[in-house]
Amino acid sequence: MIAIIAWRNLWRNRARSLIIIVSVALGMWAGSFINAIYYGMGQSRMRIAIDHEVSHIQIHHPAFGDDQEARYNMDADSLRAALENRPGVRAFSLRSVASGMLATTSGSRGIRVNGVDPAAEQATRNLAGFVRQGDYLNPEQRNRVLVSTKLAEKLKLDIGNKIVVTLLDTAGAITSGAFRICGLYQSENAPLDELNIFVVKADLDRLIGSAGRAHEAALLLSEDETLMPVYSDLKQTLPRLKVERWQELSPETDLILSSLDIYTLVFMAIILLALSFGIINTMLMAVLERTRELGVLMAVGMNKWRIFGMVVSETVLLAIIGAPVGLLAAWATVHWLNRTGIDLSILMGEVMRDFGYATIIYPELPWHNVIQTLELVLIAALLAAVFPAWKALRLRPVEAIRG
Amino acid sequence: MLIKLAWRNIWRNRSRSLITMSAVASAVLLAVVTVSLQKGVFDNLIKDVVSLYTGYVQVHARGYWEEQTLDNSFEINDTLDRAARETPGVILAAHRLETFALASSGEKTRACLVVGIDPGAEDSLTRLTPKIQSGAMLRRDDQSVLVAQGLAQKLGLGLRDTLVLLTQGYYGSTAAIKLPIAGLLRFGAPDLNERTVYLPLAVAQHWLDAPNRATSLVLGLEDPRRMPAVQREMERQLPGRYEIMNWKEMMPGITQHIESDTAGAYIMLGVLYLLISFGIFSTLLMMLAERRREFGMLLALGMHPPLIGRVVFLETIFLTLCGCIAGIALSWPIVWYLNVHPLEFGGELAKTYEKFGFAPIFPTTLKTRIFVEQALLVSCMGVILALYPVWRVLRMKAVESMKT
DSSP string computed for A305-316: HHHHHHHHHHHH
pLDDT of B267 reads 83
> What integer best gives the mean pLDDT of chain A?
85
Q: How far apart are CA B165 and CA A78, in angstroms?
A: 41
Question: Which of A189, A281, A361 is opposite residue B19, by nearest beta carbon?
Answer: A281
A101 in reach of chain B (CB within 8 A): no
A330 in reach of chain B (CB within 8 A): no
Q: Do A15 and B286 touch (CB under 8 A)?
A: yes
Backbone angles phi, psi at B238, to 5 degrees: -100, 145
Residue of B nearest to A38 (CA): B264
Q: How far apart are CA A2 and CA A309, in angstroms?
A: 7
Give CA separation, A189 vs A223, B253, B254, in Å: 23, 8, 11
pLDDT of B329 reads 94
pLDDT of A66 reads 63
> Which residues numbered 298-317 in A keep a CB inside 8 Å of some CB on B?
none
B110 in reach of chain A (CB within 8 A): yes
Question: Which of A13, A27, A38 is opposite residue B275, by nearest beta carbon?
Answer: A27
B46 in reach of chain A (CB within 8 A): no
Question: Which of B262, B274, B352 is opposite residue A348, by nearest beta carbon?
Answer: B262
**Residue B296: pLDDT above 90?**
no
A273 in reach of chain B (CB within 8 A): yes
- Hey, of B12, B108, B271, B290, which one would you mutate to test binding to chain A, going by the most A CBs within 10 A of its CB? B271
Q: Do B30 and A270 touch (CB under 8 A)?
A: yes
Report, as an integer, the average pLDDT of A222-245: 91
Q: How far apart are CA B127 and CA B113, in angstroms?
A: 18
Report, as an integer, the average pLDDT of B67-90: 86
**Residue A355: pLDDT above 50?**
no
Q: What is the pLDDT of residues A244-282, one digit of tens each?
A: 999 888 887 888 788 888 888 888 888 888 888 888 888
Expressed in percent and rounded to 5, the helix, strand and coil fractions of chain B are 60, 20, 20
Q: How far apart are CA B143 and CA B384, in angstroms?
A: 69
> How many Å separate Cα A194 from the centre of its chain?
25
Instruction: Give the ipTM of the model, two decimals please.
Output: 0.77
In chain B, the N- to C-terminal Cα span, in Å, equals: 30
Of residues B4 and A402, more confidence is placed in B4
Least confident stretch, A237-241, A399-403, B152-156, B318-322 = A399-403
**Residue B253: pLDDT above 70?**
no
pLDDT of B359 reads 73
Q: What is the pLDDT of residues A280-314, one digit of tens each?
A: 888 888 888 787 888 888 888 888 888 888 888 88
Q: How far apart are CA B94 and CA B57, in angstroms?
A: 11
Q: Do A66 and B356 touch (CB under 8 A)?
A: no
What percent of chain A shows pLDDT beyond 70?
93
Which residues does chain A have within 8 Å of residue B362's beta carbon, measured at their own beta carbons? 262, 266
How far is the alpha carbon of B95 from chain A, nearest alpha carbon, in Å?
A: 26
A182 pLDDT band, cuts 50/70/90, is very high
Report, as an integer, the average pLDDT of B207-232: 88
Question: Which of A66, A263, A347 is opposite residue B266, by nearest beta carbon?
Answer: A347
Report, as an integer, the average pLDDT of B157-164: 91
Q: Which H or E element spans position A6?
A: helix A2-12
Q: How far apart are CA A342 and CA A339, in angstroms?
A: 9
B317 in reach of chain A (CB within 8 A): no
> Which residues numbered 114-173 in B keep a CB inside 8 Å of some CB on A?
none
Which residues does chain A have within 8 Å of residue B34's beta carbon, measured at their own beta carbons? 267, 270
Residue of B nearest to A249 (CA): B190
